[in-house]
């Protein structure tokens, strides 16, 4: 086995072995934009939650290795019950998904039986199974607009995305009280100082950010939408208010632009925002998962079937 040139970097053999295992097992790797650059480089497809769900749905591979977090791999399994779906680290969760435990969510929707239940894809399969329709940050406005105007709506679990959709659509939404621990860590005070230092910069923000951040933003959208905006907008400098992993693809797509991660509250960590769950995946864990066919996503079939109905309603809207 060839040795590593720099400590911490995967060896060439490991990368070659992953490609070999992919061929042998007829596997594909799907990766979210928040994954580390080495994992993004290994992936057959990199995208936002909606594009990844669509890629999983199109896939004919026997094995889907999902380099993302648990709810994303579960989504791939909901759409592909016959295929093996692997997640390199089963502990890679999501604070939003965790904010809506199924029993509490059931009590909430039971208390509002006249409401249509719209759930953000960042939730468990059990919560999806209790929902009428799923949305992502790409299509949340479209999904809410698709619901007849006379129907009341529950929106869960992200209250900030929900409040944003409420502002854009003018619909009143009953919001579940969940947040993304990464996006609420972005500091509005530090951000204002940074905007003062870069008066020509455009602020782009993910809708999981709190309203005071979104109020300052020139563009609000999903990770894919933020990436597209950086490519097409004539500005030279962008302050990016979302998880810092997206900066890798942005730098590849727009190498001549200056990209500054929005600052986080914490002073002792890195200046940007990183999702600790997304960062649990490593190239070594990708290799091990492909080699052993584990950890695998396993779902109760009754839950999966009901979750698929809500998910397919969203997929039909695009």
Q: What is the C-alpha separation between 138 and 144, in angstroms, rounded?
A: 12
Pairing type for strands 202-205 and 173-175 reads: unpaired
Binder of ligand SF4 out of 13, 17, 57, 181 (CB under 6 A):
181
The smaller minimum CB distance to ligand 13P, of residues 35 and 122, is found at 122
Q: Determine the interface stretch with ligand SF4 among 79-87, 93-101, 136-144, 305-313 (rule: CB under 6 A).
A: 93-101
Under rule CB under 6 A, residue 311 binds ligand SF4: no
Under rule CB under 6 A, residue 277 binds ligand SF4: yes
Q: Select the binding partner of residue 222 from ligand SF4, ligand 13P, none (C-beta < 5 to 8 A, by kind).
A: ligand 13P
The smaller minimum CB distance to ligand SF4, of residues 155 and 277, is found at 277
Q: Which of residues 227-266 bind ligand SF4 (CB under 6 A)?
A: 243
Under rule CB under 6 A, residue 51 binds ligand SF4: no
Burial of 256 (0-12, 13-18, 19+ CB in 10 A): exposed
CB of 281 to ligand SF4, least distance (A): 12
Q: Select the binding partner of residue 95 from ligand 13P, ligand SF4, none (C-beta < 5 to 8 A, by kind).
A: ligand SF4
Under rule CB under 6 A, residue 124 binds ligand SF4: no
Under rule CB under 6 A, residue 307 binds ligand SF4: no
CB of 21 to ligand SF4, least distance (A): 26
CB of 187 to ligand SF4, least distance (A): 16
**SS3 track for the chain:** CCCCCCCCCCCHHHHHHHHHHHHHHCEEEEEECCCCHHHHHHCCEEECHHHHHHHHHHCCCCEEEEECCHHHHHHHHHHCCCCEEECCCCCCCCHHHHCCCHHHHHHHHHCCCCEEEEEECCCCHHHHHCCCEEECCCCHHHHHHCCCCCCEEEEECEHHHHHHHHHHHCCCEEECCECCCCHHHECHHHHHHHHHHCCCCEEEECCCCCHHHHCCCCEECCHHHHHHHHHHCCCCEEEEECCCCHHHHHHHHCCCCEEEECCECCCCCCCCCCCCCHHHCCHHHHHHHHHHCCCECCCCHHHHHHHHHHHHHHHHHC
Under rule CB under 6 A, residue 100 binds ligand SF4: no
Under rule CB under 6 A, residue 48 binds ligand SF4: no
- List interacting residues with ligand 13P (CB under 6 A): 48-49, 122, 136-137, 180, 206, 208, 222-223, 243
Before 66, cis peptide (omega within 30)? no
The smaller minimum CB distance to ligand 13P, of residues 176 and 287, is found at 176
Contact string (CB under 6 A) for ligand SF4, positions 129-168, x = contact: ----------------------------------------
Under rule CB under 6 A, residue 275 binds ligand SF4: yes
Binding residues vs ligand SF4 (CB under 6 A): 69, 94-96, 122, 180-182, 208, 243, 275, 277-278
């Amino acid at each position: 086995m060839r040795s590593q040139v720099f400590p911490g970097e995967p060896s060439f053999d490991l990368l070659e072995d992953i490609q070999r295992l992919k061929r042998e097992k007829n596997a594909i790797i799907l990766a979210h934009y928040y994954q580390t650059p080495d994992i993004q480089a290994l992936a057959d497809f990199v995208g936002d939650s909606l594009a990844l769900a669509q890629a999983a749905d199109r896939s004919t591979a026997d094995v889907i290795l999902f380099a993302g977090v648990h709810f994303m791999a579960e989504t791939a399994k909901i759409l592909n019950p016959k295929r093996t779906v692997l997640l390199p680290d089963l502990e890679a969760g999501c604070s939003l998904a965790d904010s809506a435990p199924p029993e509490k969510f059931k009590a909430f929707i039971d208390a509002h039986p006249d409401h249509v239940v719209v759930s953000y894809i960042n939730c468990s399969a059990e919560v999806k199974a209790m929902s009428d329709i799923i949305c992502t940050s790409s299509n949340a406005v479209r999904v809410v607009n698709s619901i007849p105007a006379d129907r009341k709506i529950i929106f869960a679990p992200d209250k900030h995305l929900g409040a944003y959709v409420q502002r854009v659509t003018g619909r009143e939404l009953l919001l579940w009280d969940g947040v993304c621990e990464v996006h609420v860590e972005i500091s509005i005070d530090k951000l204002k100082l940074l905007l003062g230092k870069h008066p020509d910069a455009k602020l782009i923000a993910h809708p999981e950010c709190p309203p005071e951040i979104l109020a300052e933003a020139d563009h609000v959208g999903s990770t894919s939408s933020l990436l597209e905006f950086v490519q097409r907008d004539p500005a030279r400098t962008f302050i990016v208010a979302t998880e810092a992993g997206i900066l890798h693809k942005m730098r590849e797509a727009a190498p001549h632009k200056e990209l500054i991660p929005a600052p986080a509250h914490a002073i002792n960590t890195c200046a940007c925002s990183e999702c600790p769950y997304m960062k649990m995946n490593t190239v070594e864990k990708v290799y091990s998962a492909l080699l052993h066919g584990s950890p695998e996503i396993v779902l109760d079939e009754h839950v999966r079937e009901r979750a698929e109905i809500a998910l397919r309603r969203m997929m039909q809207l695009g």
